[in-house]
Amino acid sequence: MAQLHRLIALAALTAVGPGCKWWRRRHPVPHRAAVRDVATVCYDQRFVTGQRIAQRLTGDHPAVAGSVGARVFAWRTAGGVAAWWEGMSAPVQVAEGAVADGPTVTVQRSVAYVGWSDARGAALRTLAQDASLGAPTRWEGASHGALAIAGDYALWVARIEAGGALAARGLTDAAPRVFADGGAGPAVVAVPDGFMVAWTAREGDGAVLRGRALALDGSPRAAAFEVQRAPGVMGAPSLARGGERLLFAWGDHRSGDAGLHVATTDLRGRGVGAMQRLSIRFTDDSVASVAASARGFGVAWSEPVSGGAPRSYLARVDARGRRIGSAMRVAVEDDSGMLHPSLRWERAGYVLAMARADGTLELRRTGPLGCDAPLE
């Protein structure tokens, strides 16, 4: 009988507990005030905030690579090229003397490959996390070098100054393989079973942006394909791979002003998406920095604001190359200009490295929307 009484009491408490209307009327629960969507707030403000990486570095033309816990920066200095693994006590001087272009930085198994060009040609040098430097690898007579790594294979692409052809080679292979007769660029990314390169070239009164698939040894695997064509001059392209899509970014004058444009294709250069214009003040000698994210791509670039100091911007586009929201200006606490942004996607957000007009570098982390604080 006592057990029956306990069951009846339990049933009564359940009937009038928090799940019934009578209980909710007698014990109202305050609801949290509605919070605006983070993306809406960020795009209304149109500013990147994020969080500064606390390290004072001096120079310009920064580049960033790596991932959380193994992030590396390279940049130009008055005396050449320097690099710094996050967490090192001090930067390391990688190259000495005047630098014509670069630097670039690529990471493979906790080793950074820092690239640049000087009067002799293109060069690469490794920097390990323990600050040990490898001997420079030289490509005499080349310029505008770029490196991509696919597993155990590394491909180096550059412009050969004698004749202007674009070519590719391995790090230990001294015989370059020509993949284009000439043009601006090139850019390179790893794709399944090889690499993809992109460049722009003049044709008549206009210019064309092309891509071409290369094998792991740098030899062409297929004919070049056309991505876009425009009147006038096209700037050097940028290239990123995100899943099964490639993002091409370049500048041209199709609307009368120098504009930054993007478009995507599949990994074979087919299925070109609609071209998207991101900027109307992009300069001919500027190159955008692009990075694949979890749900599309990020594009960073710098341009002058109303004829004044240049600022850096960040925009997001989806896998079809369509812009998501508005381009966001990188927020800073003073009026220094911001130039040459380098963009990297990490596990939960972006990393931006930029050069300030006062000769220092600005390093920032953001969340996955590009405008919010990092997610820890």
- Over residues 71-98, the pLDDT tens digits come to 999 999 999 999 999 989 899 999 999 9
Contacts of 55 (CB under 8 A, 6+ apart): 84, 86, 363
| Tens of pLDDT, residues 6-64 | 666 655 555 555 555 554 555 555 544 334 455 555 555 566 767 888 888 999 999 99
Pick from 93, 164, 89: nearest CA to 125: 93
The mean pLDDT of 253-267, rounded to a whole number, is: 86
Query: Is the CB of residue 47 less than 8 Å from the CB of residue 326?
Result: no
Backbone angles phi, psi at 223, to 5 degrees: -70, 155
More confident residue, 129 or 7: 129
Query: Is the CB of residue 295 less than 8 Å from the CB of residue 337?
Result: no
- CA 307 to the chain's CA centroid: 26
Element (H, E) at 147: strand 142-150
Beta strands in 243-366 (DSSP E): 245-252, 259-266, 276-279, 289-293, 296-304, 310-317, 323-330, 338-346, 349-356, 361-365
| Tens of pLDDT, residues 285-307 | 789 999 999 889 999 998 887 66
pLDDT at 106: 96
The mean pLDDT of 254-270, rounded to a whole number, is: 87
Query: Is the CB of residue 120 less than 8 Å from the CB of residue 150?
Result: no
